[in-house]
Structure 1
Amino acid sequence: MSSTLLHRRAAEYAAESHTKYSLETPYVVNIHAARLLAEAQPLWTFDHAAAESQRFCRSATADFDVCATAPDSVVHGLAGYFDAELYADVRLSICPSTHTPDMHSWFPMYFPLRQPLAADAGARISVHMWRRCADARTWYEWAVETPAATSAIHNANGHQYWIGQ
């Protein structure tokens, strides 16, 4: 996704909190001042009924083609959504294409890039995501590749952001 506003706000948070790592922290945001450069794709699924003791660590790579009709853009970060089947035909989704009508209580995650990357119209972007687990912590790591450049792996080893279990 391209959003100068979200990227600037994450960088401002770094300045206010005196940390260089806020651009390696995902944020829950209402994405409104942004251009989505490609359709959302599923990365992985969880089946909580399958194994109660499973830690749900995952990794995936997804390739996105920037809309050919979009002007050349800058990738400032990633948008993360969920689509959950709760029971039989009961679903909750915040994905743009399957969004649950009138649901306003959950927002997507914004995974910023420390250094935004250029993305030409029609370019292929590869997104690498990891959901890591160790001890009593779970965290996300991410990296992006464009034809022009590759980002660093963000939040390696959960050094900036993690969730306690």
Structure 2
Amino acid sequence: MDEPSPWLDAEQQRLWQDLLTVVIALPAALDRQLQRDAGMSNFEYSVLARLSMTDQDTMRLSALARDCDSTLPRLSKLMDRYEARGWIARRIDPSDGRYTLATLTEAGRQQVIDSAPGHVAQVRRLVFDPLTAGQRRNLGTALSRIAETVRREATGGGSG
């Protein structure tokens, strides 16, 4: 029996190259828009946005770092800047003193509100507008499956 080729076939190679373009170029395009319009990076915006989408605008820093694909030291430096700007407040988690909570302030929420329209317009233009409704559904299904596999691998649950 023939062993499978270790190389990608032509269709897989095209898909992989397109995915690499999206993975590499999309964050850079979002960074450019957010830097120009809001003076912050996509990462910096995503931290504020994640907080704004939680109950009581609050998360443990460890969970926020995980959700934003950050290290705790990187996130801590950002939290220092955000605290100085009055955008977040930090406190010890009363349910477990080993953790620190970050809470979005009113000024931080206003920063999200002010930054969101340009960011959403850029996301729509780059990601959603080029697709039909059916393509969006198919992309959602495909990305969910890939994301599930990647998350499982990232948490040590992958096979191999």
Q: TM-score range by the shorter chain?
A: under 0.3
Larger radius of gyration: 2
- Which protein is richer in helix relative to its size? 2
